[in-house]
Amino acid sequence: MADSKKARGPYRKGVERRREIVAAAAQLFGESGYTHSSMRELAKRVGLSQALLLHYFSDKEDLLVEVLNLRDASVAEYLANIAHSDIATRSREVARHSADHEGLTSLYIALSAEAIDPAHPAHQYFVDHYRSAQQQTREPAVEQGDVPAGVDPELVSALGIAVMDGLQVQRQYRSDLDGVAAVDAFWALVSAARAWWAQSNPPDGSTPNDTSRVSADTAPVPPGPEESGQGSPEEAAASSGEGAHDHIGTPVASGR
C-alpha cells in the first residue's frame, strides 16, 4: 500500500504540471498566436528550463493538440447538463460560455484565423470542427427528421455558426455587446420565419404556391422603400435629414 501511494504521488504531480503547462500555452497562443509563440517563452512562464518542458511535451504541435482539447473539454463540460436540449438553448449556452471564458475565446479566434493556411497544424482540426458544428447546429424539426418550409436547413445551420463566430469576434472590440441576447434574437427570427413560410405553404397545397422549400435566392423578402411608398433610400434620407448608410454601416453623404 505504501509503495502504491508513493507511485501515485509523482504521477499526480506530473499530471498537474502538464495541466499547468497547457493552461499557460493556451494563454500564450491566445496572446501571440501559435506561429509567433515559442517554447522558450512558455518555459519561462511556467518556471521550467526548455529541456524540462520538452520532457512533458515533445514539441509545440504536441502542445497545440492539448490546448485545443482543453477548449473542447471546457465547452463540453459546460453543455453537459443540456446535451439533449434544442439548438436555441445550446447556442445560448455556448454564447454564455464564450463570454465567461474570454481567454479560451480569444485563443479560439486567434487560432481559427491563423489556421486558414492548409499547412498550419491546426487546419484539419478546424475543418473537422466546422463539419461537426454543421451537424450539431440543427433546428428542432430537422433533428426530428422533418424538412421545414423555407430556406434550406443546411443554410440556416451555416448561418447559425456564422452568427456565433461573428459575435465572438465583435465582443473582442465591443464589451457592451450582449452575445447571448443576440443569439436568442437570431433563433427567434428563424422560428418566426419558419412559421411564416409554413403558413404560406401549407402541406395540403391549398395555396397557389406549393413550394415547400425555397433557396436563399428565392426566399421572400420585405418590400423595398419604393414598393412601400417611402420612395428611394436617398429620398427617405433627404426627407428625414439623415445620411444614408452603405452595407457596412459607414455614413454616406446625403448630398448636402
Task: For the chain, give the longest Cα–Cα distance.
Answer: 88
Q: What is the pLDDT of residue 242?
A: 43
Taking the CA atoms of 244, 246, 251 and 255 in sequence, report the sign of the dihedral they define. negative
Instruction: Tell me which amino acid residue 185 is.
Output: A
- The answer to the question of residue 113 being in a domain is yes
* Spatial CA neighbour of 72 closest among 120, 132, 153: 132
| Pairing between β-strand 213-214 and β-strand 150-151 as defined by DSSP bridges | parallel
Tell me 213's DSSP state: E
Q: What is the pLDDT of residue 69?
A: 87
Q: How many folded domains does the chain comprise? A: 1
- The answer to the question of residue 189 being in a domain is yes
Domain span holding position 84: 61-204+212-221
- The answer to the question of residue 172 being in a domain is yes
- Which triple of cell numbers denotes residue 97? 460560455
Q: What is the pLDDT of residue 204?
A: 58
CA 140 to chain centre: 19
Q: Is-contact 66 56, C-beta < 8 A?
A: no
Q: What is the pLDDT of residue 205?
A: 55
Q: What is the pLDDT of residue 107?
A: 85
- The answer to the question of residue 232 being in a domain is no
**Weakly modelled stretches of the chain, pLDDT under 70:** 1-11, 83, 143, 202-256
- The answer to the question of residue 247 being in a domain is no
- The answer to the question of residue 46 being in a domain is no
Q: What is the pLDDT of residue 59?
A: 87
* Spatial CA neighbour of 136 closest among 89, 183, 181: 89
- The answer to the question of residue 148 being in a domain is yes
Q: What is the model's pTM?
A: 0.66
CATH code of 193's domain: 1.10.357
Distance CA 122, CA 109 (A): 12
Q: What is the pLDDT of residue 82?
A: 76
* Spatial CA neighbour of 179 closest among 189, 192, 170, 188: 170
Q: What is the pLDDT of residue 85?
A: 79
- Which triple of cell numbers denotes residue 44? 519561462
- The answer to the question of residue 99 being in a domain is yes
* Spatial CA neighbour of 242 closest among 251, 231, 250: 251
Kindly report, residue by residue over 157-208, the tens digit of the pLDDT: 999 999 999 999 999 999 999 999 999 999 999 999 988 988 887 665 554 4
